[in-house]
Amino acid sequence: MTRGIALLVVGGVLAAPAALPVQLAFAILGIGVVGMVHGAGDLAVVSKERWPVFLAAYALVSLATLLWWINDPAIALPAFLLASAFHFGIEDARDGTPAERLARGSALILAPTALHAGSYAGILRLAGGSSSTLAALTPLLAIIGGLAGAALLLLAWRRRDMRLAVGIGALLLLPPLIGFTIGFLVLHALPQTAERRDLLGCSNTLDYLKTVMPIFVAAVLLAGLVAGLLLRFDPSGVRGLFAGIAALAVPHLLVTPWFEARSPLRTLSTSPAIKGQQVNA
């Protein structure tokens, strides 16, 4: 386990017994800042001649997501969680079996319910609004999340995969906002950032940050604006956090893969020669 992950876990453990505003601040820093770095590379992996269409589609989907969340958060929330679970399952277990993909996607979203059902339900009510019925399904979600988490812990033990064990352990044991932040970073965002860094030919993470910094700053400002706008609907900031993330995450989930799959950069990165260079790096 790297020093960065160890420090992240220590910070999460220290924040776990704190009040909701502190846990929310931890989630904002982890998901909304550190986690956003991997998504900031979206533009860089699309060929320049496709940038205008890509940016237009990205902005359209982002705006539609935001409007949907403002007008009908009770439906937008479960739709976003389902799309996120699908994305996590596909991206985090590309070479895995369908069962592993299902477990990974389910665990990242639902594992926190296994031991923290009450807290998880409260967060769902804040994020989805008073009309949301998703919180009522928490007992069922807890069973699914617990089973998925247990299966992945067993898989981590069989593979001697410390990263998987730490991520799933955090999702199961720590409060939902803290656990998801650590699980998201350890299992998804940090590996995806490293992959993007290698894909773009950056020698280290600092070079990657310099490459994506303009997009990263714009994304942080946009997420902050969305979160501030939604404070009028939910003073706790939870709905603003979810909406801000969704406004950037949904186009990352839906738009980027379509353009990236057709980008020369993507074709180059999947060639046998480049794959061999990445493995040996």
- pLDDT mean over 119-140: 84
The answer on pLDDT for 266 being more than 80 is no
Is residue 36 a contact partner of residue 218, using CB atoms and an 8 Å limit? no
What is the share, in percent, of the chain residues with pLDDT greater than 90?
A: 40
The pLDDT score that the predictor gives to residue 265 is 47
15 residue type, one letter: A
Those residues whose C-beta lies under 8 Å from the C-beta of residue 273, and which sit 6 or more positions away, are none
**For the chain, what percent of residues have pLDDT higher than 70?**
89
- Give the sign of the dihedral formed by CA 231, CA 233, CA 237, CA 240: negative
Q: Tens digit of pLDDT for each residue in 178-234?
A: 999 999 999 999 998 888 888 888 888 889 888 888 888 888 787 777 777 767 766
What six digits make up the tokens of 121? 């339900």
Q: What are phi and psi of 98, to 5 degrees?
A: -55, -35
Residue 168: per-residue pLDDT: 97
Cβ neighbour number for residue 245 with a 10 Å cutoff: 24
Give dist(CA 136, CA 26) in Å, integer.
Answer: 26
Whether 271 shows a pLDDT value over 60: the answer reads no
What does the pLDDT read at residue 45? 80
The gap between the terminal CA atoms of the chain, to the nearest Å, is: 19
263 pLDDT exceeds 80? no
Tell me the domain boundaries of the chain. 3-13+21-270
Q: Which two tokens stand for residue 20?
A: 């909701």
Say which residues have a Cβ less than 8 Å from residue 205's Cβ, sequence separation at least 6.
193, 194, 197
16 burial (CB, 10 Å; 0-12 / 13-18 / 19+) is middle
Question: How much is the average pLDDT of 241-259?
Answer: 84
**pLDDT over 80 at 276, yes or no:** no
CA torsion 79→128→68→28, rounded to 10°?
-90
Which among 95, 127, 97 has a CA at the least distance from the CA of 109?
127
Q: Say how many C-beta atoms besides its own lie within 10 A of residue 17's C-beta.
A: 10
Burial bucket for residue 138 (CB in 10 Å: 0-12, 13-18, 19+) = buried
Global confidence as pTM: 0.84
For residue range 132-187, list pLDDT tens digits in order: 688 889 999 999 999 999 999 999 999 999 999 999 999 999 999 999 999 999 99
Tens digits of residue pLDDT in 67-82: 888 888 888 889 999 9
In sequence order, what are the residues at sequence separation of 6 or more whose Cβ sits closer than 8 angstroms to the Cβ of residue 176? 112, 113, 116, 119, 120, 123
